[in-house]
Structures are given as structure tokens and as C-alpha cells.
Amino acid sequence: MTPETFLLEEQQAAAAQEKPQEPKRTENFVFGIPQNGLQQKQREVPVDEPPPLPANSELTYIGKPTQRYDGPAKALGKAKYTADVQLPGMLYARMVDAKIPHGRIVAIDTTEAEKLPGIRAVHVIEHVYGIAELRDPKQEPPSRYPTIRYVGQPIAGVAAVSQQIADDAAKLVKVQYDAIPFVVDRSAARADDAPMVFPGPADAAGSAGGGGGPTDVPQKGNVHGPKRRLIGNMDKGFADADVVVESEYFTQVQTHSALETHGFVVDWKPDEVTIYASTQGTASVRDEFADVFKLPKSKVRVITEYMGGGFGAKFGAGNEGVVAANLSRKANAPVKLMLDRRQEHIVSNRPDSHQKLKMGAKSDGTLTAIQLTSYGTAGVGTGAGTAGPATNLYKCPNLLTEEYDVFINAGPGAAFRAPGHPQGCFAFEQAIDELAVKLKMDPLALREKIDESPARKAERQLILERTNWRNRKPDGSDTGPIKRGMGIAQSVWYRFIDMDSSCEVRVSRDGSVELMSAVQDLGGGTKTILAQVVAEEFGIPPAMVVIRIGDTRFPIGPNSGGSVTAGSITPAVRNAAYQVKQKLFTAVAPSLGTTADNLVVQNGRVVFRNDPSKTYSLKQVAAKLPTNEISARATRVPEYSKARLTYGGVDYVELAVDTETGRVHVEKVFGAHDCGRPINPTGVISQINGGMLQGISYALFEQRIMDRNAGYMLNANLENYKILGAREVPEIEVVLVENYIAQSSTDAAGIGESAGIITLAAAIGNAFYNATGVRMRRIPMTPAGVLTALGKVQEEVQA
């Protein structure tokens, strides 16, 4: 999702709210940030909404550090991921993919592969999903086979009785190509005479998690765009400025590199297709399978019990899912198809960028103009825009952003943790520091001047109180070969809500409580927060709530992209739990000799309001149920107000630059972050640690390297595609800022995007400048790149 789709959704939600409404009642909600003093906010809410929750400090389970619901299963190795699924008679499959970067397939010969003993099915694909498509397909001569536009493009799949035989068979599929000139370099692809990746304009759709790019923009050669946005008047903005900075920044392609690769187990049966998917969206996978195979959704079941990381790249059926389904149908047996590690590096990525920024400010720091032009490549996809931070962090009367996608013959970009924002922030938050240098202002003080966010204000205060910021030395003043510095950067993300967030809560006569929803847990800890919300209503420990999620047989859940999950599903869960509790009280009150409204949960017991000496356990109360089971189903209600909300964080970095070796050592990171009402601080902090470490990894190590002559990814593995490891982990401290927003029955919000991945490269860049007096305009900051920036070695020619 992007800020633009956010606006769109907001309009839809507003339209929905303007329809004749069910009756409302007025409630007072806790509002604001504890550090700034909590307030009350009056809201109209639907009459059957649960009563407002007080602040976390007054709650029993919500807001308290809580053990991960499925922690033991994961620690014991019992958690079954898609890669671990084994079904009776299951076959193993392997994808066959393109070995050339651009060309037409002349012929595919599968006879050798089919002859291999143990082979059960071969499927050659007819359509490639997840990449841009020509606006006018007739611009390409018709062919049985899709045009090859990148090395690694899926061509076929083979299924066999063992993985080893499938691997052997995949190598025996013979593909004959007619090669076409190609380009894998972003800057080369912009040239007028560059080989054309698509013979005409092409567009890519986004996924449930975002990605994709604009479809209504011009295209010239490989350059798709711009997507242009103008507010105010740029000439006036720059005329009003006392200082102007102009700068240029470059970021690289980062691959998602989830440890569990993309993959599916498909069991195609005539009456129902069961799909085990390593996905962030059981709902979006079901929708895509139903769409591709023209099946009713009722006959497609998607299961995701555990999944080994997605980071934005796993939403749909994918080519591997479609192939697995075809193989299963042909072989009449369940088929497991997991991508191998090389394929995983090619299937998705965060696009690169080349950004030009020009910004103007008054001498007191007030921004007068922001102008951003960005070029980025999402390979054969689109969605390389980076304007989020420049548009949404600070208010500026004059803003112009122009975002271009550049097609190259490489694997498609996809949504990746805060799409566009780490790139955008790397440029924009360093440019803000450049302004501070020109204005001779402290970078934190400049942000204090231009940032209107109350949450980030509290967060900056924490930086001042809890870090070394006040002892920051003048830029570049450290002497000696190892130079230390500190820097900050700020992030912004948006409150997205997925209204397709439903669940059922069930109470049985023996007192057991279950929650069911199709929502999935990617490792962010969704199961745990759902258990806490239910536990709070019933006054029982979260571990006693049984959480069953990740199965489309349960009520639909949100697709986990854009940090929507916690904010979307927890209100539905609380409402269902509240409703079933009311039903329970109504059902048992007569046999307890009272009325339902005299029953309340207090300190883990069901208590008579008018006689606190009368207390019962939930078990005792449930035992009086006239039926065996009682349940309630709830769906997300619209936000209580139409306010457009963002989240953010401020991250602080201390680092050392070894000016002789060019190595950058991040020594300390301190982050202050907000995400509405935190439900499980433990899980939130885990996610922020992860975002920060991914951010450091992005800033210092990761980089897809393409062979310009042969057109393939040179480092599609985990030894040459360097990801941060244990040795590069700095000291990390995270503080959560509670931010009550009075928007839903839980006020929860996700943290996945604003968790540090957005800011770290920029904060490292700013700290690098403080240490050395030299601005890092390019990531990753490898030793070679650092020595080049420091003027110690000759500049290399780079993309």
C-alpha cells in the first residue's frame, strides 16, 4: 500500500460512513501521549461497541510484556511451516527458469525430463504473473510461450517422488531461445538507444501488500513515468528560501531474503483445492487461486500455520503456486514446490533509486520548497517511487515530486517493508541534515522546528534524555584514523485499515475459549496479541485462550502488508470477545440469580457489581450454559473518526568509521517509536530490533549485483549476498511511546514498517557525516564505497 492508496481507502471509508448509520452513542476515550499528558476524546461510536479501554497502565493483559503464544512450538522445532508440510503421496517439485535475460522461447523439450524414473508431472507455464504487462499485447508477435525478460523468469515446473529427482528433471528440460539484446543497468537503460525491455508501454499491478506502480503515466523507452505531484508553486518556494540545498543520492537493490523461500503445497482435489502457503495473506492467496483457476472461493482453502518471513513479498498465488497447482492436478497428488535460494533472490526485491533533491528553507528552518526527482528500477516491474518521506514527514507549502520507474531485464520488485520509504528517507533525511548544516542548526533542533507530529516530539525528547546527543561534536572534528559520530533520522508510516478483518470467539461449557480467524502470523506475534485481547475480556491468562488462525475456513482476516494487521483485526477480536461475554452473561444470569448487567469481569473473576463478595471463575460461569457452546462473530467496524493518521519513530545511531579500512561499525542504536496502543511490548520491540538490523544491513552490506555482460544476478546466494550477522549487531535500546488515538475498540496499530528499516540508512549517513564531515550519498557503505567517498581511492564507475 502507498500513501495514495491510503487516501483512496480513506475516501471509501468516508463514503461508507456517510451511508445511513446504525444508532450511535457517545463515549470518552483516553487520548494522546502519556509523556505529553493524557487527555480525553469524545467520539460517537456504534451502540454495540464495547466500552472504551482505559490506558495500558490500568489493564491486566493488554500492554503487558507477554510470552509469544507459539514460542515453545518454535523453540522445540515443532512449528510446521509450509516447507515442512508432508502429505501422504506428496510429490516434490522444482521450477525451471530462464537462463537468458531477454529472448523468445523457440521450443521447450521436456521428453528427457519426463523419461526420468520417478517423474510424475511436467507443466510448462503460459503466463507469467507478478511482472509488468504490455498495455497493448499486440506489440509482441504471438507465441505459445511468454517472452523471457529476465534470468530466472519461471518457465516450467516438474514434480517427482523426491526432491532430488525433481532437481535432476529440472536440469533435463531443454529450452531453445531466440535471444534479444538486454539491459540490466538502470542508468544504461535510460538511454534513448538502450535495448527495450518491453516493446511498448507496460504496467504492473500491485499486490495486496503494495508494490506495483502508477498505470496512467507516459512511457518513453524503458522509462515509465513520471508520477508527478505538485502542491503550491515551486518558483515561489525557492524565491522564499534563505538557503537552498541540492543533492543526489543512490540506493541499491535489496532482496527480501526471507529464510523460508516462497512456496506452496497444493493438494488439488475435485471438490476442494487445499493450499499450504508461505504467505502474508491467506485471503489474497485464495483470491488469486480462485481467479487464475476460475474456481469458486468456497472451493479454495488456504492454510498458513507458520511462515518463515515475507517482508512484503508474499501475497499472491505466484508463478510457483500456479505451477504447483497445475502439477498437482496433472499428477493427481499433493505437490510441494518451494523456490530454491537462487530463485528466492530473483523472485522479489526492493527497487533501487537515483534521487535528486532540491530543498529551500528560511533562516529559522521553516521549509519553503521540496523538489524530488527519482529514478528507480523494479526490474520488469514498477513501484520504485520514493516520495513518501519527502511528501509526508514535514509540512511544506511547495512540493514537487516526480517518480520514474526504469525497466531493466531483472527480476520484479515487490512491496518490501515500508515500500519506497527506506530509499526516500536515506535521501530526504540526509538532505534535512544538509539543510541543518547550511543553517548552522542542530539537526534535532531543526526537526523540532519543522515537525508537527506530537509523537515524534515526544520521541525526540527521549533521544535528548537517553542518548549522548547533547555531547555531539562538531561535524568532522574527530581526529585520528577511527572517527566517531552520531546521527538521527525520522520515519513516517500510515494508518491503513483492512475492513476484511473478521473472527469468531467461542466459549464452551467447560470454560474453554477459542478464537478463529483466517489472519496469519508472519512472526510479528499476531497470535499473541489476539490472545491478549481475548484474555483481557474474560480475565483469563492469554496462554489459556486457544488461537486458531491462518486458515481460510475461518472468518476472513486482513492481508498482512503495510502494518495493517494489529490495527485491523484486534478491534474485531475484542468486539467478538465482548459480545460472546455478554451472551454468556445473559445465558447464565438467571441460574446465578441475577441479571446480565450485574455481571462483570474483575481481577480474573466474574463478579456481581452489587455484591463483590459473589465471585466465580469463568469455568464456573460457563458450566451454567444451557447449550454446549456459545459464540460470536465480529467484523472490523469503521474507524471512529476520519482523521488521517501516521505513525513514526526517531532513531539515533552512534558509529565509528575506520578511515583506513573503510569499514563502518554501528556501535549503538537508540530508537523511540509509536504504534498506537502497544498490545504486546515484547513483540513490538522484537519487530523494531528486526527493522533496525535490516536497516543496518541495507545501509552497509546488502546489494544485488548484476553481470552486465551476461545479464544474471552474480550473488544469488547467502554467501555473496551479505546480510547482517551476529557480529555486526550493535547495542540496541528501544523505547515505545504509547499514542492513544481513539479510533477503534483497541487503538492498536502495526509496527512492521516504521520499525527502523525506514530510518537506519539515513541515520547512519548522518552519523557518518558527523564523524567524518563527508556525506555518504550511496549505499551500501562498503569499504570500497567509503574509501571512495573519503577520497582515498579513485571513483569506480557505478550504476
Partner 1 sequence: MADTPKIEISRRGFLKGAGITAATGVIESANAFARDAKGALHGAQTIGPDAQPIKLHINGHELAVSVEPRYTLAETLRDNLGLTGTKVVCDRGSCSACTVWIDKVPALACMTLAVDAVGREITTIEGLSHGDTMHSVQVAFVKHDAMQCGFCTPGMVMSCAALLERNPNPKLDDVKHAVSGNLCRCGTYPKVFAATLDVAQQRAQASGLVNLDTGTEA
Q: What is the smallest separation between the CB atom of 752 and ligand FES, expressed in angstroms?
A: 13
- CA dist 304 and 277 (Å) reads 6
Of 2 and 715, the one with the shorter C-beta distance to ligand FES is 715
Binds 372: which of partner 1, ligand FES, none (CB < 5-8 Å by kind)? none
Of 47 and 726, the one with the shorter C-beta distance to ligand FES is 726
Q: Is 309 in the site for ligand FES (CB under 6 A)?
A: yes
Sheet with 599-602, side-by-side order of all strands:
599-602, 605-608, 611-616
* Residue whose beta carbon is closest to ligand FES: 259
Residues in contact with ligand FES, total (CB under 6 A)? 3
* Pairing of β 219-220 and β 119-124: unpaired
**Residues 27, 33, 37, 38: what is their CA dihedral angle, to the nearest 10 degrees?**
20
- In the shown chain, the binding pattern of residues 249 to 278 toward partner 1, with x for contact by CB under 8 A and - for none, equals --------xxxx------------------
The region of 167-175, 232-240, 477-485, 630-638 touching partner 1 under the rule CB under 8 A is 167-175
Q: What is the smallest separation between the CB atom of 775 and partner 1, expressed in angstroms?
A: 27
Residue 767 burial (10 A CB sphere; 0-12, 13-18, 19+): buried
Binds 524: which of partner 1, ligand FES, none (CB < 5-8 Å by kind)? partner 1
Name which of 104, 128, 115, 127 is nearest 176 in CA terms: 104
Of 103 and 309, the one with the shorter C-beta distance to ligand FES is 309
Q: What is the smallest separation between the CB atom of 689 and partner 1, expressed in angstroms?
A: 5
Q: Is 99 in the site for partner 1 (CB under 8 A)?
A: yes
Cis peptide, bond prior to residue 780, ω within 30 of zero:
yes
160: Cβ contacts below 8 Å, ≥ 6 apart:
91, 92, 93, 116, 118, 119, 120, 166, 168, 169
* Residue 294: Cβ within 10 Å count: 6
Q: Is 520 in the site for partner 1 (CB under 8 A)?
A: no
Of 104 and 583, the one with the shorter C-beta distance to partner 1 is 104
Binds 694: which of ligand FES, partner 1, none (CB < 5-8 Å by kind)? partner 1
Q: What is the smallest separation between the CB atom of 259 and partner 1, expressed in angstroms?
A: 4
**Residue of the chain from 5, 35, 60, 67 that contacts partner 1 (CB under 8 A):** 67
Residue 533 burial (10 A CB sphere; 0-12, 13-18, 19+): buried
Binds 84: which of ligand FES, partner 1, none (CB < 5-8 Å by kind)? partner 1
Of 348 and 772, the one with the shorter C-beta distance to ligand FES is 348
User: By CB under 6 A, what part of segment 671-710 binds ligand FES?
Assistant: none
529: Cβ contacts below 8 Å, ≥ 6 apart:
566, 570, 679, 680, 683, 748
Name which of 585, 620, 622, 580 is nearest 600 in CA terms: 585
Q: What is the smallest separation between the CB atom of 148 and partner 1, expressed in angstroms?
A: 11
Q: What is the smallest separation between the CB atom of 359 and partner 1, expressed in angstroms?
A: 32
- CA dist 316 and 354 (Å) reads 29
Q: What is the smallest separation between the CB atom of 515 and partner 1, expressed in angstroms?
A: 20
Of 89 and 725, the one with the shorter C-beta distance to ligand FES is 725
Name which of 387, 342, 392 is nearest 152 in CA terms: 342
User: By CB under 8 A, what part of segment 647-686 binds partner 1?
Assistant: 682-683, 685-686
Q: How is residue 490 written as a grid cell?
A: 525520522
Q: Torsions phi, psi of 619, nearest 5?
A: -60, -45
Of 50 and 309, the one with the shorter C-beta distance to ligand FES is 309
Q: Is 86 in the site for partner 1 (CB under 8 A)?
A: yes
Q: What is the smallest separation between the CB atom of 308 and partner 1, expressed in angstroms?
A: 3
User: By CB under 6 A, what part of segment 521-540 binds ligand FES?
Assistant: 523
Q: What is the smallest separation between the CB atom of 159 and partner 1, expressed in angstroms?
A: 14
Cα 759 to chain centroid distance, Å, stands at: 15
Q: What is the smallest separation between the CB atom of 756 and ligand FES, expressed in angstroms?
A: 16
Give yes or no for a contact between 311 and 415, defined as CB atoms under 8 angstroms apart.
no
Q: Is 689 in the site for partner 1 (CB under 8 A)?
A: yes
Binds 662: which of partner 1, ligand FES, none (CB < 5-8 Å by kind)? none
- CA dist 176 and 110 (Å) reads 11
- CA dist 226 and 236 (Å) reads 22
Q: Is 690 in the site for partner 1 (CB under 8 A)?
A: yes
Q: What is the smallest separation between the CB atom of 596 and ligand FES, expressed in angstroms?
A: 44
Name which of 381, 331, 445 is nearest 207 in CA terms: 381
**Residue of the chain from 35, 36, 60, 163 that contacts partner 1 (CB under 8 A):** 163
- DSSP designation for 126: S
Give yes or no for a contact between 446 and 453, defined as CB atoms under 8 angstroms apart.
no
237: left (phi over 0), alpha (psi -120 to 50) or beta: alpha
**Residue of the chain from 179, 445, 464, 784 that contacts partner 1 (CB under 8 A):** 179
- CA dist 287 and 552 (Å) reads 11
Give yes or no for a contact between 331 and 120, defined as CB atoms under 8 angstroms apart.
yes
Name which of 233, 669, 684 is nearest 488 in CA terms: 669
Q: What is the smallest separation between the CB atom of 204 and partner 1, expressed in angstroms?
A: 25
- In the shown chain, the binding pattern of residues 338 to 357 toward partner 1, with x for contact by CB under 8 A and - for none, equals --xx----------------
Residues in contact with partner 1, total (CB under 8 A)? 67
Q: What is the smallest separation between the CB atom of 726 and ligand FES, expressed in angstroms?
A: 11
Of 157 and 525, the one with the shorter C-beta distance to ligand FES is 525
Q: What is the smallest separation between the CB atom of 259 and ligand FES, expressed in angstroms?
A: 4
- CA dist 690 and 757 (Å) reads 8
Q: How is residue 717 written as a grid cell?
A: 546466494
Q: How is residue 374 written as a grid cell?
A: 527519482
Binds 544: which of partner 1, ligand FES, none (CB < 5-8 Å by kind)? none
Q: What is the smallest separation between the CB atom of 779 and ligand FES, expressed in angstroms?
A: 22
H helices present in 551-660, as ranges: 565-592, 618-622
Name which of 794, 769, 767, 764 is nearest 779 in CA terms: 764
Of 45 and 253, the one with the shorter C-beta distance to partner 1 is 253
Q: What is the smallest separation between the CB atom of 623 and partner 1, expressed in angstroms?
A: 28
Of 152 and 389, the one with the shorter C-beta distance to partner 1 is 152
The DSSP result for 441-492, as a single string, is --HHHHHHHH---HHHHHHHHHHHHHSSGGGPPPTT---SSEEEEEEEEEEE
**Residue of the chain from 210, 351, 691, 750 that contacts partner 1 (CB under 8 A):** 691
User: By CB under 6 A, what part of segment 252-291 binds ligand FES?
Assistant: 259
Of 525 and 562, the one with the shorter C-beta distance to ligand FES is 525
Residue with cell 484486534: 570
- In the shown chain, the binding pattern of residues 483 to 502 toward partner 1, with x for contact by CB under 8 A and - for none, equals --------------------
The DSSP result for 183-228, as a single string, is ---HHHHTSTTSPPSSSS-EE---BTTB----SSS-EETTEEEEEE
* Residue 616: Cβ within 10 Å count: 17
Give yes or no for a contact between 632 and 576, defined as CB atoms under 8 angstroms apart.
yes
Q: Is 726 in the site for partner 1 (CB under 8 A)?
A: yes
Of 99 and 297, the one with the shorter C-beta distance to partner 1 is 99
Q: What is the smallest separation between the CB atom of 83 and partner 1, expressed in angstroms?
A: 7
**Residues found near ligand FES in the complex (CB under 6 A):** 259, 309, 523
Q: Which stretches of the chain bind partner 1, using CB under 8 A? A: 67-68, 70-81, 83-84, 86, 92, 99-100, 103, 162-164, 171, 174-179, 257-260, 306-309, 311, 340-341, 522-525, 682-683, 685-687, 689-694, 717-719, 723-727, 729, 732
